[in-house]
Amino acid sequence: MPNPKRRHSKSRTRQRRAHDSLKAPQYQTDKDTGESFQPHRIDPKTGMYKGRKILDVDEDI
């Protein structure tokens, strides 16, 4: 099992751990409905993506 030869400084350890934090998901607002959505996802209510109809969605569900 490899072991470190030298001790890592506190600043080096904290710089490495700075990238471990969780980021909140990004949301955008829809131009037509005004609802917020995640980018690069198909809208489950309308079945639209980038202005095109991708999925056929049943209205009664």
Helix, strand or coil, per DSSP, at residue 16: helix
Fill in the amino acid letter for 5. Answer: K
If pLDDT is split at 50, 70 and 90, which confidence band does 60 have?
A: low
* pTM of the predicted structure, to 2 decimals: 0.47
Closest CA to 26 of 18, 38, 17, 15: 38
CA–CA distances in Å: residue 48 to residues 16, 18, 22, 37, 57 = 40, 37, 29, 12, 10
Token pair, residue 24, equals: 């909140």
pLDDT at residue 27 in the model: 92
| pLDDT tens by residue, 1-52 | 889 899 999 999 999 999 999 989 899 888 877 888 888 988 888 888 888 9
